[in-house]
Amino acid sequence: MTKRLRWIRVQLGAWLDRMSYWIIGPLALLLATAPFYPEPHLVETTAMLFRGELTEPIYIFDFLMHSAGLVLLGAKIGRDLLRSDHDDKGPDDQCADGPHQETGIET
């Protein structure tokens, strides 16, 4: 991965880490279900996608806009799950060449 792509990935990850579920959750729910009557656009455009009728640019944009909150929520959940997997492993506590970093006790 190039330096530029790595930088973008790190910046987007940091931005996702700062975002709260209290913001992303309602945003995703609102975008996915708007307008509420007669049928949410996401449901309508998803049905059009499966029928092969999603060809006009305005409907493609509409589909992307109404699904953006769900994609953002999925990215945040995925990032948090991956980070929690790495956190569970913890640091390597056995070091044979000196004191333990946190307690200063020789091992």
- Please compute, for residue 26, the number of CA atoms within 13 A of its CA located in the half-sphere on the CB side: 3
pLDDT at 7: 86
Read off the pLDDT of each residue in 72-81 and give the average, rounded to a whole number.
Answer: 91
At CA 75, angle to CA 70 and CA 79, rounded to 5?
A: 150
Over 50: is that where the pLDDT of 93 sits? Answer: no
Average pLDDT of every residue of the chain:
81
Instruction: Express each pLDDT in 36-69 by its tens digit.
Output: 888 888 898 899 999 999 899 998 998 999 999 9
What is the model's pTM?
0.67
Whether residue 29 is predicted with pLDDT greater than 50 in this model: the reply is: yes
Query: Region 5-20: what's the mean pLDDT?
Result: 87
Which residues is 106 bridged to in the sheet? 99
Taking residues 81-106, report their average pLDDT: 59
